[in-house]
Structure 1
Amino acid sequence: MRAPEFLQSTQSSYDAIAEAYTAEHPDSLAGRPLEQALLAAFVDQARASGGAQRPPVADIGSGPGYVTARLHEAGLPVFGVDSSPRMVALARKAHPELRFHVGSMTALDLPDETLGGIVALYSIIHVPDDHLPSVFAGFHRVLRPGAPVLLGFQAGGENGHQRLTERFGREISLDYYWRTPDAVAGHLTRAGLGLYARVLREPEPGEKMPRAFLLARRPVAAGEPAAG
C-alpha cells in the first residue's frame, strides 16, 4: 500500500535534514525539568500497568533517539520508531544498544495489546487532522489495558497550519499542524483513551509557541483483568 503523501514528504524532509537536526537537538529534554517529570510519570504508569510481564514501550517519532535512551535508562524495555530511514540510522549509531525501526504511527505493524506504553513527543504535529482519528485508534489497538500514552506538541489555535520549504539550508516540504490541547484531547477520548492529565507550559527562550502535554491511558474494561 502506498504511503500517504504527507508521510512521504515528512520522511524525505527529515532524511534531508537528519544530520543538521540531530546536531541541533541531541537531547531536547536536557535542562527541561517539567518534561523530564512528565516522562518520569509515564515511566511510573508503564511500570505499574505492565507488572511482572514488562511489555515493551514504543517511542514513536523517535528522531535522534534521546527519548528512547532516557526510557531505557529508566529501566523500561523500549524501542524507537521513525518514518525517516536516515534518522533511524543516526539513532542506531548514537545508541547501538537500543532498537530503532523505520515505520509510521499511521500504520503500526504490531499485534493487538502488546505495548506497555507509547511516547510521541512532537511527532503528531506532522499528521493532518483527518488522519489523527486512525492514528489514535491504532494506539488504542496496540496498547495493553491500563497502558499509558504521553503526547507532546506545540499548542496553537484551531486549524493552524504551516509549511516549511527550507530548513538548515536544505530544500524540504514539511507540514506542521498546530492544535489546542482540547482538540487533541477530544481525538484521544473518541479513540477510547482516557485522559489522565494535561499540562501547558509557556514558551521558553527561543520558542514561539506554548508546549502542551497530554497523559492518557487505555482503560481497563469492566470485568477485564488488569495488565500484568
Structure 2
Amino acid sequence: MTEPDFLTTTRAFYDAIAADYADRYRDELAGNPLSRALLAAFAELVLAECADGLVAELGCGPGRVTSHLHGLGLDIRGIDLSPRMVELARRTYPGLDFTEGSLFDLPLRDGELTGAVAWYSIIHTPAERLPEVFAEFARVLAPGGHLLLAFQVGDEPLRIDQPFGRPVALDFRRQQPHRIEELARAAGLRITTRMSREPEEGVETPQAYVLARKPAQGS
C-alpha cells in the first residue's frame, strides 16, 4: 500500500531537524509547570487504574516526555514516525524502549495500553484522516485506559519553512478543542478533562489539553 504524502513529508521533516529539535526542546518541561502538572495528573490516573500497566507516548520525538513519565513511575515506551527521532531517543535514554511506528498503524495489540499520550503529535494529520487516528487510539487502549492529548488551537494551519536552516517545510494543523472532543467521543472515548492555555512568551498560539478515558467494562 502506498504511504500518504503527508506521512512521507512529516517523516522527512523530523528526520532533517531531529538533532536541532532535541537540543532546542531538551529542557522545555523544566520551564513549564503546567505541562508537568498535567503529565503528573495523567500518571497518577493511570497508576490508580493499573499500577503495572503499559503506557505509550504516541509521537514521542526525541523522548523527553516519555522519559519524564517514566520518572513518574510509568512503564512506558515511545513510538515515533521518524527513524532519526527514534535513534536519538534510544541514544539519549538507553534504558527505555523506543520504536518506529505510525499513528495509523500502531505496533501495539488491541487493548494493550492502560495509558496513551499524544503530546502535539496529531497536529500533522489532515482533518479528514483524524477519525482513523482516534480509532487507533481507542483500539490500543484497554477498558479504563486514559488518553492525554495536547495540541495547538486555531482554524488555519501554520506553515513552518526551513526550521533551523534545514531545507524542509511542514504544516502544523491547529484544531478547535470541541472538534477533538467530538473525535474522541466518536471513537468511543469519554472526555474527563479539558483545559486551554492562552499564548505566552515564546508560544504564538493558544494550546489545549484533553483527557479522555475508554469506558471500563460494564460501565
Q: In the alignment, does 2:200 pair up with 1:210?
A: no
| TM-score normalised by L of structure 2 | 0.96
CA RMSD of aligned residues (A): 1.2
Which residue of 2 is the match for residue 76 of structure 1? 74
Q: Distance in 2 between matches of 1:90 and 1:96?
A: 10
Q: Of 111, 135, 138, which residue of structure 1 is paired with 2:136? A: 138
Give me the whole-angstrom Cα distance separating, in 2, the residues matched to 1:164 and 1:71: 28
Letter in 1 for 2:77: F
How many residues align structurally?
A: 219
Quote the residue 2:102 is aligned against: 104
Hey, what's the Cα distance between the residues in 2 that align with 1:109 and 1:98? 16
| 1:14 and 2:14 correspond | yes
Distance 1:66 1:121 in 2: 11
Q: Which residue of 2 aligns with 1:43?
A: 43
Helix, strand or coil: the match of 1:126? coil
Which of 161, 178, 184 in structure 1 is aligned with 2:180? 184
Greater CA drift, 120-129 or 1-10: 1-10
Counterpart contact for 1:43–1:76, Cα < 8 Å: yes
The offset of 1:162, in angstroms, is 2.9
Instruction: Using the TM superposition, give the Cα deviation of residue 2 of structure 1 relative to its aligned residue in structure 2, in angstroms.
Output: 2.7
Amino acid corresponding to residue 34 of structure 2 in structure 1: L
- Any unmatched runs of 5+ in structure 2? none
Distance (Å, rounded) in 2 between the aligned partners of 1:166 and 1:140? 35
For 1:4 and 1:108, locate their aligned partners in 2 and report how far apart those are by CA, in whole Å. 16
Checking the alignment, whether the CA contact within 8 Å between 2:163 and 2:169 is kept in structure 1 is no
Q: Cα distance, 1:197 vs. partner?
A: 0.4
Question: Cα offset for 1:222?
Answer: 2.2
1:219 paired to 2:211: no
Amino acid at match of 1:111: R
The percent identity for this pair of structures is 47
Q: Please identify runs of 4+ aligned residues in structure 1 that moved more than 2 A.
A: 162-165
Q: Secondary structure at the match of 1:119?
A: strand
Q: Which amino acid aligns with 1:68?
A: T
Equivalence for 1:226: none
1:149 corresponds in structure 2 to 147
- Normalising by the residue count of structure 1, what TM-score does the alignment of the two structures yield? 0.92
Q: How far is 1:212 from its partner? A: 0.3
* In structure 2, C-alpha distance between the alignment counterparts of 1:141 and 1:27, rounded to whole Å: 32
Using the TM superposition, give the Cα deviation of residue 72 of structure 1 relative to its aligned residue in structure 2, in angstroms.
0.8
Once the 2 structures are TM-superposed, how far is the Cα of residue 28 of structure 1 from its aligned partner? 2.2
Q: For residue 15 of structure 1, report the CA deviation from its aligned partner.
A: 0.4
**1:27 deviation in Å?**
3.2
Q: Residue 169 of structure 2: which of 169, 173, 178 is its match?
A: 173
Which of the pair has the greater relative contact order for Cα pairs under 8 Å at 6+ separation?
1
Asked if 1:94 is matched to 2:105, the reply is: no
